[in-house]
Amino acid sequence: MEPTQQPGAGTRLDPWVDAYAARTRGLTASQVRALFAVASRPEVVSLAGGMPFVSALPLDAMADTVARLIRDRGAVALQYGSGQGDVRLREQILEVMAPVGVTAHPDDIVVTAGSQMALDLVVRVFCDPGDVVLVEAPTYVTALGVFSSYQCEVVHVPMDDEGLRPDALREAIDAARAAGKRVKLVYTIPSFHNPAGVCQGPARRAEVLEVVRSAGLLLLEDDPYGLLGFDGSVPRAIRADESEGVVYLGTFSKTIAAGLRVGWAVAPHGVREKLVLANETATLCPSNLTQLTISEYLATQPWFDQVKVFREVYRERRDALLESLAGLMPEGTRWTVPAGGFYSWVTLPDGLDAAAMLPRAVAALVAYVPGTGFFADGQGRQSLRLSYCYPEPERIREGVRRLAGVIETELEIVETFGSPTAVAEREGPSAPSPDLA
């Protein structure tokens, strides 16, 4: 008797390919993720992923905190908790937000599994398929993943050295509305932007808020890096000046530990109720163990001194990056000068394509994220993001040296054969190369 052949059996094809919901069409592996496998090999200098340098934490103190917590309060720490988050932690979050000027009531806060989860919940409760979300050009790659998984239409708004441009924002809102579209959210990362590395000044924030207010829209303010300014100053959050029209997202990922997965949203009353219900359907409740770990850490450790340690670590790495870029990059290469956070946005000389160049960079043992990953519409070919948060300064210098060599070679290739973009335009569309597919 012939064995029955199941569809896809014996192959790597997915037999369920026709069964997935339409919303999963937006779920594709981000370029950052696809890169992690290669970039995490020790011989590669990865300037790609934005991993916080958690080794700078007082790990012994953290270990004692967790041990004490389980020993003394294990019955609570290991139990289900509230869908809104632990009440003591919500009170402490108010203190953590004091430097950015956000004042609220503990009831206004919803604790989530990282701010990524909060972002997902906000989009889930606001956006129907086809709703327009306005975002910076470029923007945070995994926010794009959320918007596309809820089938939103993403409209990019140009930035300048101070971030989101209010005039362009107003135009984009008007244009979307004139085209009969429903605009739902404006998503911005005002402080030490991922990936652009720029920061909105106070006047710029006020202008952005004014545009959003006058359009009657909700602003989604994502602020993972606000405390990580290198000169010690902390930019005032937009939420500090508007409580009804802003949902503010915060996280402990960059100031304590990303692996604990604790973030939060501060939202106006009605929105907060919906977020709690959405949080419950997604996870029942955020982890008590990790929330109480953070809560104990905040109560017993000099957490703000630790923030200062992180600032110093990242400032030194930023300096290593900028000095080597200035010393080594071929003419025509430009980059942003971050005053905080983890990233610099590099624009390559004319004719170069960062996505096409990536396999050659990885072969030269350096990795970055190509700019196209930070756009929903294919922009960004000439750009790339460099993260300086994780490698030691010496590795950063070596990474930039390798990258400069790759760019030099690329320029020679372009001089001889023409730019990849020009070749692609001449030859028409082709399948992606195996390296990038």
Ligand X SMILES: Cc1ncc(COP(=O)(O)O)c(C=O)c1O
Check residue 255 for interaction with ligand X (CB under 6 A).
no
Per-residue contact track with ligand X, 263 to 282, x per CB under 6 A?
x-------------------
Shortest Å distance, C-beta 130 to ligand X: 24
**Closest to ligand X by CB, 140 or 297:** 140
Of the candidates 230, 250, 255, 237, the one whose C-alpha atom is nearest the C-alpha of residue 305 is 255
Check residue 116 for interaction with ligand X (CB under 6 A).
yes
**Closest to ligand X by CB, 82 or 115:** 115
Taking CB atoms within 8 Å and a gap of at least 24, the contacts of 177-184 are: 181/130, 181/131, 181/132, 181/153, 182/128, 182/130, 182/131, 182/132, 183/131, 183/132, 183/133, 183/134, 183/215, 183/217, 184/126, 184/127, 184/131, 184/132, 184/133, 184/152, 184/217, 184/218
Check residue 50 for interaction with ligand X (CB under 6 A).
yes
How many angstroms separate the Cα of 348 from the Cα of each of 14, 137, 159, 195, 410? 38, 17, 18, 15, 10
What single string gives the DSSP state of each residue in 191-246? SS-TTT-----HHHHHHHHHHHHHTT-EEEEE-SSTT-BTTS--PPPGGGG-SSSE
Strand partners of residue 46: 367
- Alpha helices (H) along 215-351: 269-283, 288-300, 303-328
Check residue 31 for interaction with ligand X (CB under 6 A).
no
Check residue 194 for interaction with ligand X (CB under 6 A).
yes
**Closest to ligand X by CB, 189 or 219:** 189
Q: Are 124 and 274 in contact (CB under 8 A)?
A: no
Check residue 159 for interaction with ligand X (CB under 6 A).
no
Check residue 258 for interaction with ligand X (CB under 6 A).
yes
**Closest to ligand X by CB, 140 or 345:** 140
Shortest Å distance, C-beta 262 to ligand X: 8
Interacting residue with ligand X among 66, 89, 189, 285 (CB under 6 A): 189
Interacting residue with ligand X among 81, 83, 85, 114 (CB under 6 A): 114
Check residue 242 for interaction with ligand X (CB under 6 A).
no
Check residue 253 for interaction with ligand X (CB under 6 A).
yes
Locus of tokens 């977020």: 275
Q: Under rule CB under 6 A, which residues in 204-223 are in contact with ligand X? A: 222
Contacts with ligand X by CB under 6 A: the residue count is 13
For the chain, the straight-line distance linking the first and the last C-alpha, in angstroms and rounded, comes to 39
Region from 65-73, 75-83, 128-136, 251-259 binding ligand X, contact rule CB under 6 A: 251-259
Q: Angle formed by the axes of helices 87-97 and 288-300, to 10°? A: 50
The whole-angstrom distance between residue 385's C-alpha and the CA centroid of its chain comes to 12
Shortest Å distance, C-beta 137 to ligand X: 15
Interacting residue with ligand X among 191, 251, 290, 344 (CB under 6 A): 251
Check residue 140 for interaction with ligand X (CB under 6 A).
yes
Locus of tokens 């008007």: 174
Per-residue contact track with ligand X, 301 to 330, x per CB under 6 A?
------------------------------
Angle CA(120)–CA(247)–CA(116) in degrees, nearest 5? 30
Region from 61-69, 108-116, 347-355, 385-393 binding ligand X, contact rule CB under 6 A: 108-116
Q: What does the chain come to in residues? A: 437
Check residue 287 for interaction with ligand X (CB under 6 A).
no
Helix (H) or strand (E) holding 401: helix 393-417
Pairing of strands 132-137, 383-387: unpaired
Check residue 115 for interaction with ligand X (CB under 6 A).
yes
Region from 62-70, 72-80, 112-120, 237-245 binding ligand X, contact rule CB under 6 A: 112-120
Shortest Å distance, C-beta 51 to ligand X: 9
Check residue 121 for interaction with ligand X (CB under 6 A).
no
Q: Which residues bind ligand X (CB under 6 A)?
A: 50, 114-116, 140, 189, 194, 222, 224, 251, 253, 258, 263
